[in-house]
Structure 1
């Protein structure tokens, strides 16, 4: 449809991008610009957040 694409953006992405630690938000941004589809696990990995097992 007219070449448009859209995605649902995870709420946590805003928190990651506005983190007080600029290195963390920069890593998230660098990971984000490489993605065609959002991969929350990869964004959390770049952010430095580990999933509890």
Structure 2
């Protein structure tokens, strides 16, 4: 999904792409995805361009 995105993605958009329910009672799911995206950014699989915006690193 990141390869086909034309702009950096937020955790909520990633949840929508993965068909994860985003009801107000399920904020926990969005936070889990956000933490996983941050871990991927620490491992340099993704880049966090701004706070909360994730994209693939440029070669």
- Given the two structures, how large is their TM-score scaled by the length of structure 1? 0.32
Larger fraction in helix: 1
Larger Rg: 1
- Given the two structures, how large is their TM-score scaled by the length of structure 2? 0.30
